[in-house]
Amino acid sequence: MRKGLNMQRLSGLDASFLYLETPSQVMNVAAVVVIDPESIPGGYSFSSLRIEMDRRVRGLPMLRRKLADSLTNVDHPVWVEDDDFNIERHVHRIAIPAPGGMEEMSQICGHLVAQVLDRKKPLWDMWVLEEMADGKVALVLRMHHACVDGATVAEILGELATSTPEPPALAPDRVQESAGGASRSDMAVGGAVNYFLQRPIAALKLIPKTLPVPFEWIKRARSGDGMPAPFLAPRTRFNAPLTPRRSLAFAQLPLSDVKRVKDHFGVKVNDVVLAMAGGALRDYLEAHGELPEEPLVGLVPVSVRGTEENDLIVEGTNKVSGMFTRLPTSVADPVERIRVAGKYSEQAKGHHQGIDANILRAYAEFAPGNTLGSLMRLYTDRRLSGMHPPVFNAIISNVAGPDRPMYMLGGRVEAVYPMGPIFHGLGLNITVMSVDGKLNVGLLTCPDLAADLWDLVHGFGTQLEELVAAVDADLDKEEQADEDSGE
């Protein structure tokens, strides 16, 4: 018998990802974990891997809960325990077509990520991709953005992955934990109290706090000392309406090289990522004759975990805000580009830190489910994203994973490629995750916007090579200067 919790209602931000979903705007977050099956105790088989995943899910309450709603519920849906949970509905396998390389694997992943998850069961599944040319196995873990953010994905991977191949013991309290149930009357009464009583009070508290924000934003945007304003980004091929198709591309870079560059130029790892993204986008768009003169604008998700919350926000899974920053796409020299990336990033951080970190989440509580869903379908059908200036050009996320060897369901983890969703008019997601000394880069777009995504992801390696060469050249100059001074 599991211990049930009080009914947990989705926060407005969590629920918004449900309302915004359409067949061509799928709100899936995913991770492609490439493992070496040779290390699995007793050897690899799909059936034994699924049995072990079934056992692990018993200790992960988040993976056992599903949505519940009713016509009489005027507020956001709630989470309940899936009493009919069956691992066979969640863990599947598929063979990668010959020759079984990374591009063939990415094609399968693109097809999977484009599929909407079944809302009648817990919002996740895992696809085991076999027949890779090098004997490896890829695990594609798909989760809906309503139940995870970037930090949550890293936490789930951290719990599924262990420091040794041997299966871990499960925490008894996690096994006993349950999302419980929810009757229609409980949902209706609780939803009515939230909607008709608490929301108006929250609005009265929230509006005065946010009135100065747009005026300060416009002021700082005009002075060039802050985040760029929304809807002022230059248009690129990625800022167009989406089709239901998705394509992915991956790269893996040495984290030690990234840290060398960071230390030498006195910037942050995230600044190096932004510089690489800016340089790769510059080269890609320039090769197509589409490079805008003004800098592109990136949206960088920022975790607000640990920040002070208030009574305007319902506790939820997605604890994230967004920071707009210019990308150094107008700078040709790689060394100057990383310095400009650091400057843009510092300006954006200074501006973002002056805004209440939880404003986005607070306003999301007012998201009207049916109305927002209808408006999103109208926006999609009329292809309105191509009729207004882009809000920004790309989403760029940097997630820190465990800096140690990991074993996923017994298999040694070779790579973890993260992926986030894309939106109409915002059709490029760049997500990087550092794991065990490697920086794993995952790109997601719609192939009807860009059919050559691998050209763009290869640019990240090129950019890092140029920056490492610049570091080596500087060190050689310093060494030569020391020798000359000693003569």
Contact by Cβ (8 Å): 12, 202: no
Check for a shared fold between 3-186 and 213-394+436-486: yes
Conformational region of residue 135, where left means phi above 0, alpha means psi within -120 to 50, and beta covers everything else: left
Q: Which of 76, 145, 352, 424 is catalytic?
A: 145
Kindly report, residue by residue over 460-472, the tens digit of the pLDDT. Answer: 999 999 999 999 9
Contact by Cβ (8 Å): 204, 349: no
Task: Please state, in angstroms and rounded to a whole number, the distance separating the CA atoms of residues 445 and 20.
Answer: 17
Contact by Cβ (8 Å): 443, 249: yes
Q: Nearest Cα to 85, choosing from 48, 123, 113?
A: 123
| Residue 452: per-residue pLDDT | 96
Q: How are strands ordered across the β-sheet holding 8-9? A: 8-9, 78-81, 65-68
Q: Nearest Cα to 52, choosing from 409, 481, 484, 474?
A: 409
Angle between helices 334-353 and 453-486 (to 10 degrees): 110
| Residue 4: per-residue pLDDT | 54
| Residue 2: per-residue pLDDT | 60
Task: Please state, in angstroms and rounded to a whole number, the distance separating the CA atoms of residues 441 and 418.
Answer: 7
Task: Please state, in angstroms and rounded to a whole number, the distance separating the CA atoms of residues 478 and 426.
Answer: 44
Task: Provide the CATH number for the domain formed by 3-186 in this structure.
Answer: 3.30.559.10
What are the residue ranges in the chain where pLDDT is below 50? 1
pTM: 0.93
Sign of the Cα pseudo-torsion (237, 239, 240, 241, in order)? positive
| Residue 209: per-residue pLDDT | 82
Task: Please state, in angstroms and rounded to a whole number, the distance separating the CA atoms of residues 364 and 14.
Answer: 9
119 to 69, 115, 254, 389: CA distances (angstroms): 11, 12, 39, 33
349 to 297, 324, 400, 455: CA distances (angstroms): 14, 9, 18, 30
Task: Please state, in angstroms and rounded to a whole number, the distance separating the CA atoms of residues 447 and 114.
Answer: 12
Q: Which residues does residue 32 pair with via DSSP β-bridges, in sequence order?
A: 140, 417
| Residue 394: per-residue pLDDT | 97
User: For the domain with range 213-394+436-486, which CATH number is right: 3.30.559, 3.30.420, 3.40.1350, 3.40.1000?
Assistant: 3.30.559
302 to 4, 68, 69, 103, 395: CA distances (angstroms): 32, 29, 30, 31, 11
256 to 253, 260, 261, 276, 412: CA distances (angstroms): 9, 6, 9, 15, 20
Known catalytic residue at 424: no
Place of tokens 């695990």: 139
Kindly report, residue by residue over 223-253, the tens digit of the pLDDT. Answer: 788 899 999 999 999 999 999 999 999 999 9
Nearby residues of 429 by Cβ (< 8 Å), 6 or more positions away: 394, 395, 397, 419, 420, 421, 422, 443, 444, 445
Cα separation of the two ends of the chain: 81
Domain positions in the chain: 3-186, 213-394+436-486
Cis peptide before 402 (omega within 30 of 0): no
